[in-house]
Amino acid sequence: MTTPLISLSIVFSVILLVFSSLQHFLLGTQASDIGTFEQFSWLIANGKLHVASSYRGITPLQDHFSLLLIPIGIIYKILPTTYTLLALQSIALGSLPAIASSKIKKFKPNKKIILSLVIGILFSPYIFLVNLGDFHPEIITAPIMLIAILETGEKRNWLYYGSLLIALSAKKAQALFGVGLSIYCFAKGKYQKGIITFIISTFWWLVSSNYSAIAGDYIKIRLGYLGESKIDIVYTLITRPWHVFTEATPESIALYTLGLCLPFLAILSKRSLPALLSTLPVYITNIISSEGIQRELNHHYSIIIVPFLIAGCIDTIKGWKDISKSIANRVYYLTLFFSLLAFIGYSRIGYFKTRYLPLTKEAIAFQSAKKEIPINSAVLTNKTYAAHLANREMFKIIETGDYLPVERFDYIILPGSNNLQSIGGKLVPIKGSNTEQEIQQIIQEAKRSGMKCSSVNEYIRLCKKTK
């Protein structure tokens, strides 16, 4: 990998980290999911792997049996801050252009073609959005998944299977990546690899299912509208596929698909078909789900699709060794146009102006008040502040309603009545709302329990136990 590629990865990673960190600092994140994974990381870092999260009520490995959380927890122990998690994720995603371009450089294509793929990745709205102020272990494996796909046709097996195992370790549902990868192997004529990959992925699903917590039948919850049993669901999809549109409108599916593919559209061709077919296990799951968030570009459900899209572009470029200069220029300018169009249309960059920057003063005031709260203290707060207070064994949020009695908390930190809260994506005053009524009730309960409550500043209210 050349110096320019390494430099590109560093710059891209820094840009991703700056935006995700800024959103987090400006109170644009919530207890789930970044608060969940920070508390998991804190528990692992402090030797409490088998201690249940106070927020989720399950141990770190019971959440989808993510073995990757163990090395993440070790890194977190060295640098115990939320920004460590955001940095790991940003570095992982930031490495994608370098990995992809280093692969296609071996085919010696026109430089405009290399640049086209790099631009598609850099301006992919999904890559930008999935990294913003949130964290999921499987996102860190995006470059690992791409390496596994690119190693399909190589003779060396250690890197292929090693990458597969690391990718699977991020989450139980990563078995869908393994299924997609086996499809890719079969499409490429690598039948032995395809069979072994499918067996390993199936085995991982069965094992991880035994060790992860039962948080509900997701198939029933998200696909139950298609039938009472798995057989009924499959039968409905075969005989009445249009029934999917009762939960997932054609417009939402089309917009979701376009947002994912638009930056790469000018490069994808019939040579990309094996990679595109490999996305089907995840893609179909997302478009038929009754959970609309699976078709939103700011959630992790589509991360498996991205490496296959990049691999599909690489498969196309592999056959463009003798492409003419005029065609290369056409691909370059189309990719540039499509990528910018996708980023402008989908990236939600305007949210910083309307949702996050207006909270700057509150964010600064909160960080100041937060310094008064020791890490070993039990804290009650709201879902927004909790994203900044998850580095401890005990925290609860008022939104869940399971926080009583307040005597078990050392500190209660809540927003002031003149602050703004996000309702349906819009900032509205807390004063006069149901939230304010609940906060007042909590404060009164805290005072009755002997806690001292006051306004630390005009933005933050704090209750603490008296000695």
Residues 222-246 pLDDT 10s = 888 888 887 888 888 889 888 888 8
The answer as to whether 222 is a domain residue is no
Check pLDDT > 90 for residue 220: no
Are 266 and 330 contained in the same domain? yes
Confidence of residue 214 (pLDDT cuts 50, 70, 90): low
pLDDT for 461 equals: 96
The residue-averaged pLDDT of 304-320 equals 96
Averaged pLDDT of the chain: 93
- CA angle at residue 435 from 430 to 136, to 5 degrees? 95
The answer on 191 and 82 residing in a single domain is yes
Looking at the fold, whether 281 and 170 belong to one and the same domain comes out as: yes
292 and 412 share one domain: no
Arithmetic mean of pLDDT, 449-467:
92
> Are 333 and 442 in the same domain?
no
Alpha helices in 106-226 (DSSP H): 111-122, 125-130, 137-140, 142-150, 158-168, 175-187, 191-211, 218-223
**Which pLDDT does position 217 carry in this prediction?**
55
Instruction: Report the alpha-carbon distance of residue 282 to residue 305 in Å, rounded.
Output: 7
Does 373 share its domain with 398? yes
Asked if the structure places residue 225 within a domain, the reply is: no
In whole angstroms, give the CA distance from residue 338 to residue 423.
33
DSSP state letter for 32 = I
Asked if residue 66 lies in contact with residue 80, where contact means CB atoms within 8 angstroms, the answer is no
* Mode of pairing for the β-strands spanning 411-415 and 420-423: unpaired
Q: How confident is the model at residue 53 (pLDDT cuts 50, 70, 90)?
A: very high
Residue 404, CB half-sphere, CA atoms under 13 Å: how many? Answer: 7
Q: What pLDDT score was predicted for residue 424?
A: 80
Name the residue type at position 385.
Y
Examine the domain organization and report whether 188 and 255 are in the same domain: yes
Q: Count the domains in the chain.
A: 2
Q: Is 339 in the same domain as 267?
A: yes
pLDDT at residue 67 in the model = 97
Asked if 177 and 75 sit in the same domain, the reply is yes
Q: Is 233 contained in some domain? A: no
Domain that residue 334 falls in: 3-215+248-349
pTM above 0.85, yes or no: yes
Closest of 396, 399, 380, 364 to residue 445, by C-alpha = 380
**143: pLDDT strictly greater than 90:** yes
Q: How far, CA to CA in Å, does 352 sit from each of 103, 349, 356?
A: 35, 6, 5
pLDDT tens for 351-393 read 999 999 999 999 999 999 999 999 999 999 999 999 999 999 9
Q: What percent of the chain has pLDDT over 90?
A: 80
- 238 is a domain residue: no
Whether residue 197 sits in one domain with residue 162: yes
- Residue 369, pLDDT score: 94
- Do residue 302 and residue 381 come from a single domain? no
Q: Give the H or E element holding residue 395.
A: strand 395-397
**pLDDT over threshold 80, residue 274:** yes
